[in-house]
Chain A
């Protein structure tokens, strides 16, 4: 969502709200850029997974936009829709504007182009999404787990993740004390 500071406060041209940005992207990238979606909290633009690097470079380097900061990159699993959504939150220091871009990756084989060469902050954030959701970021130079151990099985933030009964012989279940027969307990 483009912040209220954007157009009026800092002298940006009037077409630089989210509809203006979407129109520019659509003119440049064609069908790879979807329409503006109205959300409850913020509005966003959906972009195809194989065009996100190009769109990102455009948003970051275009002199009218200059979204130089990637404040967050995260993901969310939607099993009923059949995709994993990657969410990019951008900020432009010049105009104070904020923008949300979303990418839907196929749940069975999620592949998204990396943006780490555009925003260095994406390096660890993409590793986190890879770790917890299993999204493959094509072109990432160092794609391995960042939080969980390297020998972990599965991606815990997927909705169908089932916790393993043990990890290296450490049981992941703890019995309730009430269910145990403790001698001397009243």
Chain B
């Protein structure tokens, strides 16, 4: 009889990495960062019909307690500098989802003098959601892709050798 079979039924065996990732992906607090019309769809995604709350996602009004930044809308160059500051204020591990054509590449306003051609010019992006604006279903799928990505992460294995003291 193996050790695992000898445990009572409510015991769950898992790996530490998976447990950490599972807890982390199940309480993904996102920072409110609506910049244009995409923000309306993001609010709709948070609303009762598609209900982000079932993933444990709640909107936060400050970057300091947020895990995820959903960049929803046209990013102007003036805002791009502030976006970088907000991203740096978020605690690690942090993720960025670029929502809609404007945040992906500048979209309709790519040739405008005042628009930053994509949020990835300023901060690293994990998931791009196409659309103008994306429907709540599309944003939800993007968030589930992000959750899949989070489940692949390894926190306990050090990839680079420990620095000598």
Interface residues of A (CB under 8 A from B): 147-149, 156, 161, 163, 167-168, 170-174
Q: Does residue B146 face the partner (Cβ distance < 8 Å to A)?
A: no
- Whether B116 sits at the interface, judged by CB under 8 Å, is yes
Q: In whole angstroms, what is the CA distance A149 to B78 when docked? A: 6
Across the A-B interface, give the 3 residue pairs with the lowest CB-CB distance, nearest first: A174-B117, A156-B113, A149-B78
Contacts of B118 in A (CB 8 A): 174
- Interface of A, secondary structure class, is loop
Would you call B117 and A168 a contact (CB within 8 A)?
no
Neighbouring A residues of B130 by C-beta, 8 Å: none
Most buried by A among B105, B118, B121, B122: B121
- A149 B77 Cβ-Cβ under 8 A: yes
Contact residues, B117-136 vs A (CB, 8 A) = 117-118, 121-122
Given contacts A148-B78, A149-B77, A149-B78, contact A170 B113 (CB under 8 A): no
* Given A148-B114, A149-B77, A156-B113, also A174-B122 (CB < 8 A): no
Distance in angstroms from A90 CB to nearest chain B CB is 30
Q: How far is the CB of B22 from chain A (nearest CB, A)?
A: 31
Least distance between B78 CB and chain A CB atoms (Å): 5
Given A167-B80, A172-B113, 8 extra CB contacts under 8 A = A148-B114, A149-B77, A156-B114, A163-B113, A170-B122, A171-B117, A172-B117, A174-B117
Give the distance in Å from the alpha carbon of A147 to the alpha carbon of B78 in the complex: 9
Size category of the B interface is 10 to 19
Shortest CB distance A32–B (Å): 35
Q: Is B73 positioned at the interface, with any CB of A under 8 Å from its CB?
A: no
Contacts of A171 in B (CB 8 A): 117, 121
A170–B116 contact, CB under 8 A? yes
Q: How far is the CA of A171 from the CA of B80 in the complex (A)?
A: 11
Would you call the interface of chain B mostly helix, strand, loop, or mixed?
loop
Alpha-carbon distance A11/B151, docked complex (angstroms): 77
- On whether the beta carbons of B106 and A174 are closer than 8 Å, the reply is yes
Given A148-B114, A156-B114, A163-B113, decide whether A170 and B121 contact each other with a Cβ distance below 8 A. Answer: yes
12 examples of A-B residue contacts, CB within 8 angstroms: A147-B114, A149-B78, A149-B81, A156-B113, A156-B114, A161-B113, A167-B80, A170-B77, A170-B80, A170-B122, A172-B113, A172-B116
**Known contacts A148-B114, A163-B113; is A174 also within 8 Å of B105 by CB?**
yes
Within 8 A of A (CB), among B77-100: 77-78, 80-81
Contacts of B121 in A (CB 8 A): 170-171, 174
Nearest Cβ distance between residue A186 and chain B, in whole angstroms? 19
Neighbouring B residues of A174 by C-beta, 8 Å = 105-106, 110, 117-118, 121
Which residues on B sit within 8 Å (CB–CB) of A172?
A: 77, 113, 116-117
Instruction: Output the least CB separation between A16 and chain B (Å).
Output: 42
For A149, the chain B residues whose CB sits under 8 A away are 77-78, 81
Most buried by B among A148, A149, A174: A174
User: How many angstroms from the CA of A170 to the CA of B77 in the assembled complex?
Assistant: 8
Question: Please, which residues of chain A bring their CB within 8 A of the CB of B114?
Answer: 147-148, 156
CB distance from A114 to the nearest CB of B (A): 25
A-side contacts of B113, CB under 8 Å: 156, 161, 163, 172
CB neighbours (8 Å) of B77 from chain A are: 149, 167-168, 170, 172
